[in-house]
Amino acid sequence: MREKFERYVHDNLNKFAKEVARLASQPSVSARKEGIEECAILVEKMMREVGIQTRVLRGAEGVAPLLYGEMKGSDSNKTILFYNHYDVQPEEPLDLWKSPPFKPEFREGRLYGRGVSDDKGELVSRLKLLESYLKVNGEPPCNLKFCFEGEEEVGSVHLDDYVSQNQELFRADAVFWEWGGVDDQGRPIVGLGVKGMIYLELVLKSLSIDAHSSYAAALPSAPWRLIRLLNLIKDENERVSVPGWYDKVENLTEEEERVLEEEPFDGESFKRYYGAQSFVGGITASQARKALARRPTANIAGIWAGYTGPGSKTVLPKEIHCKMDLRLVPMQDPDELLGRLRDFLKEKGFGDVSVEVETMEPAARTSFRDPFAQASIRGGESVFGKKSVVRLSEPGTGPLYVFTQRYKIPAVSIGVSPPDNAIHAPNESIRLDLFEKGILWLAESTRTYLAG
């Protein structure tokens, strides 16, 4: 039966890839709320075409609908849930695309277009996994559920509401998270967690109107004041200076340390790719690898004030804005830390600075020893013929906590994407050969998990 399944996936690969192109042809940029409703309609249609029983969950006006689906299997009482998202990042800068971002194009074994990897290719791979089960076996090997949201790229601000208001729908034994793939050596990567995050904007106002810069001798400068503030938030050793910030950060277990130590990391290639001469603070490659998984961060994502156009304009800006993302590790509570940050600003004389929070998400992590994690590790090794790379935690953030904390469900990230997929950038792509193997990886991991 396994060979028949693999043959069906292989023989229908081009058809499956065209379905990715079909979905990626529909713009769905959540940052601009562009095409979200139309894309939700298309996704539900594609779910129904496979045979999934669907429900469209809706929140307040302007909130992207969440698409829920399920199909029962009779061979096992286990339930696996697939989480994916149908929204995408903005396509700019347009001049760097070799083909129109929303007109997907096949070139040399790849499919190019916005969202073909993140996350529409991954979403379609889950639908085609089910289609392959139905065509070969007549039913899935266990109960399957699907959760497809349209706001992941803007912080999944309503996902927890949807899930908490429909808790029975989302109960499951395990979750395949939204994405995954292989490293540059073709080794399958099994992701076990993500960092949390507080994303906020600081707004500091010193004047009611912009002033001539000659008045800087007498009037306060918002930019200079913000610079002094930012230097208080993080010290020269890369530690957040807010009191109590690290109180709940737990040390890794010996096994977690071993998993982290075994994760391949080419420090020189990493630095070279980003044009960095050294790692922050002069840390070693080994320390950098560990920091990506377990170090909280305080990053300045953008600052703007005054005049930034060509030529000169002598101006004393009335205000300055700064966007920051503060990444968190397991056990750190975003609400608690936001309160600590506000208290810190007041204590240091910056209580007048506006702190506008955009999104907050706690970190989440699945145990390396969990049977579902182990099944995904072995499934990757079976399909790719190489030892799986176990990633204790991604340095990025996602709403994994909604399932791992609310339901205590183990969740892993595996999928169909190549390491050079250019997600969030021009010329985003997937490789068709990896799209095929990724579907087989999902199937083998599921089989291994259910076998026990």
Percent of the chain clearing pLDDT 90 (strictly above): 95
Q: Is the pLDDT of residue 388 over 80?
A: yes
Q: Give the predicted TM-score (pTM) of the model.
A: 0.91
pLDDT of residue 185: 94
Q: What's the pLDDT band for 273 if we cut at 50, 70, 90?
A: confident
Long-range own/partner contacts, residues 41-49 (CB < 8 A, 24 or more apart): 43/67, 43/86, 43/123, 43/148, 46/19, 46/22, 46/124, 46/127, 47/127, 47/146, 47/148
Q: Is the pLDDT of residue 399 over 80?
A: yes
Please state, in angstroms and as integers, the Cα–Cα distance from residue 240 to each residue in 49, 71, 103, 297, following that order: 50, 47, 44, 7
Q: Is the pLDDT of residue 58 over 80?
A: yes
213-249 pLDDT per residue, tens: 999 999 999 999 999 999 999 999 999 999 999 999 9
| CA–CA–CA angle 80, 86, 92 (5° rounding) | 145
330-384 pLDDT per residue, tens: 999 999 999 999 999 999 999 999 999 998 999 999 999 999 999 999 999 999 9
Radius of gyration of the chain (CA): 23
DSSP for residue 389: E
pLDDT of residue 406: 82
Q: What's the pLDDT band for 452 if we cut at 50, 70, 90?
A: confident
Dihedral sign, CA of 142, 192, 416, 371? Answer: negative
133-170 pLDDT per residue, tens: 999 999 999 999 999 999 999 989 999 999 999 999 99
Percent of the chain clearing pLDDT 70 (strictly above): 100
Q: Could you give the 3-state DSSP secondary structure of residue 80?
A: strand
Token representation of residue 27: 């713009």
Rounded mean pLDDT of 164-188? 95
Query: What DSSP line would sit under 127-167, residue for residue?
Result: HHHHHHHHHHHSS-SSEEEEEEES-GGGT-TTHHHHHHHTT
Q: Rounded to whole angstroms, how far apart are CA atoms 64 and 269?
A: 39
Rounded mean pLDDT of 297-321? 97
pLDDT of residue 276: 96
Token representation of residue 185: 């050596």
pLDDT of residue 9: 98
Rounded mean pLDDT of 394-405? 92
Q: Rounded to whole angstroms, how far apart are CA atoms 364 and 392?
A: 10
Q: Is the pLDDT of residue 397 over 80?
A: yes
Q: Rounded to whole angstroms, how far apart are CA atoms 39 and 117?
A: 16
Name the nearest CA neighbour of 139 among 72, 221, 88, 92: 72
Q: What's the pLDDT band for 292 if we cut at 50, 70, 90?
A: very high
Instruction: Give me the domains of the chain, ranges plus CATH numbers.
Output: 2-192+366-451 (3.40.630.10), 195-249+296-361 (3.30.70.360)
Q: What mean pLDDT, rounded, does the chain reach?
A: 96
User: Cβ(431)–Cβ(13) under 8 Å?
Assistant: no
